[in-house]
Amino acid sequence: MDIHVKDMRFPLLLDAYGALLTERKRELLDYYYNEDYSLSEIAELTGLSRQGVRDGIRKAEEELRTLEDTLSFVRFSEGVAETADLLLRLADRAGPGELGDGIRDAAKRLTDLRQSDPGKE
């Protein structure tokens, strides 16, 4: 049984910053978070020891945390999505017409901005 509890924020961080990791770190995190392999299964696939896999994952996770703390791409993207959702709720309350349409347009612009965010794939 793996003692390491999976933090489900890491797939988002991996999407945002994976290109900045080494290929090995990216591979370990992909197997662990996206493919849901156990440490033992990853060890078998990569030729590393189970402890080596665990250490590699922890180091990669720390690197992703540091990148997010420094660059905040994921936090930015989440904030944009929350603001767009709020605007859509306000547009619904405003109803049809110029005000509602203007608010919906602003929400769409935010959604488009989020989709073009370099940290979002």
Q: What is the DSSP letter of 6?
A: P
Between 1.10.3720.10, 1.10.1200.10, 3.30.1330.10, 1.10.10.10, what CATH number should domain 10-71 receive?
1.10.10.10
Name residue 90's amino acid: L
Give the predicted TM-score (pTM) of the model. Answer: 0.75
Cβ atoms within 10 A of the Cβ of 9, count? 15
pLDDT digits (tens, 9 = 90+) for 13-63: 999 999 999 999 999 999 999 999 999 999 999 999 999 999 999 999 999
pLDDT digits (tens, 9 = 90+) for 63-86: 999 999 999 999 998 999 999 999
